[in-house]
Amino acid sequence: MTDVYVSGYAVIPPSRARADRGEAVLTAEEYHARALSELLRSLGISKRELDGLSYALGINRTLWPHSLIWSAEVAQNLGITPKLTVVSDHGGMSALSLLFQGYALIKSGVVDHVVLLGVDSPLTPSKPQGGYRLERTWRYELNYELPLGMIGPLSEAALIARRHMYEHGTTPEQLGLVAVSQRKNASKNSWAYLKQPLTMDEYLKSPYLAYPVRMLDAVIPVNGGFALMLSRSDDAKRFTDKPVRIEGVETQVNSEPQNELRDITKLNIPSARLLERAGVGLNGIDFLELYDDFTVVVLMQLEALGFASEGGGRFVEKNSITYDGNLPVNTGGGQLSGGQAGTAGGFSLVVEAIQQLREEAGGRQVKGATRGLVTGLGCLGYNHNLINRGVALLSKP
CB of 347 to other proteins, least distance (A): 23
Nearer to other proteins, 79 or 207 (CB): 207
User: Do the beta carbons of residue 371 and residue 395 sit within 8 Å?
Assistant: yes
Which residues are CB-contacts of 354 (< 8 A; sequence separation ≥ 6)? 6, 9, 228, 244, 394
* Site for other proteins contains 145 (CB under 8 A): yes
For other proteins, which is the closer residue by CB, 259 or 283? Answer: 259
Is beta strand 244-253 parallel, antiparallel or unpaired with respect to 386-395? antiparallel
Q: How far apart are CA 7 and CA 135, in angstroms?
A: 33
Residue 140 in the binding site for other proteins (CB under 8 A): yes
- Binding of other proteins by 162 (CB under 8 A): yes
- Does position 264 bind other proteins by CB under 8 A? yes
16 belongs to the binding site for other proteins (CB under 8 A)? no
Is the preceding omega at residue 212 within 30 degrees of 0, hence cis?
Answer: yes
Tell me which stretch binds other proteins (CB under 8 A): 147-155, 231-239, 243-251, 277-285. 147-155
Among 78, 87, 158, 269, binds other proteins (CB under 8 A): 158
Of 196, 201, 258, 309, the one binding other proteins by CB under 8 A: 258
Closest to 345 (Cα-Cα) out of 220, 246, 252: 220
Q: What is d(CA 97, CA 318) in angstroms, rounded to the nearest whole number?
A: 33
Comparing CB distances to other proteins, the nearer of 154 and 280 is: 154
Please, what is the minimum distance in Å from the beta carbon of residue 294 to other proteins?
A: 12
Round the CA-based radius of gyration of the chain to a whole number and report it. 20
The only residue of 17, 75, 104, 154 in contact with other proteins, by rule CB under 8 A: 154
Tell me if 266 contacts other proteins by CB under 8 A: no
Q: Which one-letter DSSP state was computed for residue 282?
A: G
**Residues 166 and 158 sit within 8 Å (Cβ to Cβ):** no
CB of 255 to other proteins, least distance (A): 12
Q: Closest by alpha carbon to 270, among 287, 255, 250? A: 250
**How far apart are alpha carbons 72 and 330 in whole angstroms?**
34
Q: How far is the CB of 252 from other proteins (least distance, A)?
A: 16
* Cα distance between residue 24 and residue 240, in whole Å: 30
By CB under 8 A, what part of segment 192-231 binds other proteins? Answer: 207-213
Least distance to other proteins, CB of residue 197, Å: 26
- Considering beta carbons, is residue 156 or 352 the nearer one to other proteins? 156
Q: Are 83 and 362 in contact (CB under 8 A)?
A: no
Select from 74-82, 91-99, 131-139, 353-361 the region that touches other proteins (CB under 8 A): 131-139
For the chain, the first-to-last Cα distance in angstroms comes to 16
Binding status of residue 76 toward other proteins by CB under 8 A: no
User: Quick one: 73 or 256, whose CB is closer to other proteins?
Assistant: 256
Alpha-carbon gap, residue 211 to 341, rounded angstroms: 24
Strand segments (E) across 1-146: 4-15, 55-60, 84-88, 113-120
Among 260, 283, 309, 368, binds other proteins (CB under 8 A): 260
Give the footprint of other proteins on this chain (CB under 8 A). Answer: 131-133, 139-140, 142-152, 154-155, 158-160, 162-163, 166, 207-213, 257-258, 260-261, 264, 382-383
